[in-house]
C-alpha cells in the first residue's frame, strides 16, 4: 500500500510543478524578474540591448530583448537594418543607432 501512496504523491507533485512551469511560458530565464528591473526598463523606455548575434546557414539573427530578429524585422519601435559580426544597426524613431555586443568579461590569453 505504501508504494501506491508514494506514486500518488509523486504524480501530484509532478502535476503541480508542470502547472507552475506553464505560467512562465514566454519568460526569458536569463533575465532578472520584472520586479527587480529599473522602472525605465520595465516600461520599455530604456535603450535596447543587443544580447547575442547568431550566425547560421539561414543567415544572421540578432537577439534583442530575448527575441531572435532578422534584417527587416521589428522589436518594439526599432527595425533591424543590418547585422554585423559584433554589432547591429537599427532604425528607431527615424534615427539610426548601432547596438554593440558587450565586451567579454574574460579575455583570451595571448
pLDDT band, residue 102 (cuts 50/70/90) = confident
pLDDT of residue 17: 66
Q: Residue 32 in 3-state DSSP?
A: coil
| Domain definitions of the chain by residue range | 47-100
* Mean pLDDT, the chain, whole residue set: 78
Q: Residue 66 in 3-state DSSP?
A: coil
DSSP run (H or E) holding 25: none
pLDDT tens per residue across span 58-78: 899 999 988 999 999 999 889
CA separation for the pair 99, 86 (Å, rounded): 9
pTM: 0.55
pLDDT of residue 90: 96
Report the top-level CATH class of 47-100.
mainly beta
Biggest CA-to-CA distance, the chain: 70
pLDDT of residue 98: 94
pLDDT tens per residue across span 30-41: 766 666 655 544
Higher pLDDT, 88 or 24: 88
Q: DSSP letters along 66-80, please?
A: TEEE-TT-EETTEEE
Name the H helices within the chain.
Answer: 2-22, 39-43
Amino acid at each position: 500500500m505504501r508504494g501506491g501512496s508514494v506514486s500518488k504523491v509523486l504524480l501530484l507533485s509532478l502535476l503541480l510543478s508542470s502547472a507552475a512551469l506553464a505560467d512562465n511560458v514566454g519568460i526569458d530565464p536569463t533575465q532578472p524578474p520584472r520586479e527587480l528591473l529599473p522602472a525605465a526598463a520595465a516600461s520599455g523606455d530604456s535603450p535596447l540591448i543587443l544580447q547575442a548575434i547568431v550566425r547560421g546557414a539561414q543567415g544572421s539573427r540578432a537577439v534583442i530583448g530575448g527575441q531572435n530578429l532578422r534584417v527587416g524585422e521589428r522589436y518594439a519601435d526599432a527595425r533591424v537594418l543590418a547585422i554585423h559580426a559584433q554589432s547591429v544597426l537599427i532604425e528607431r524613431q527615424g534615427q539610426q543607432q548601432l547596438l554593440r555586443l558587450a565586451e567579454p568579461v574574460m579575455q583570451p590569453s595571448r
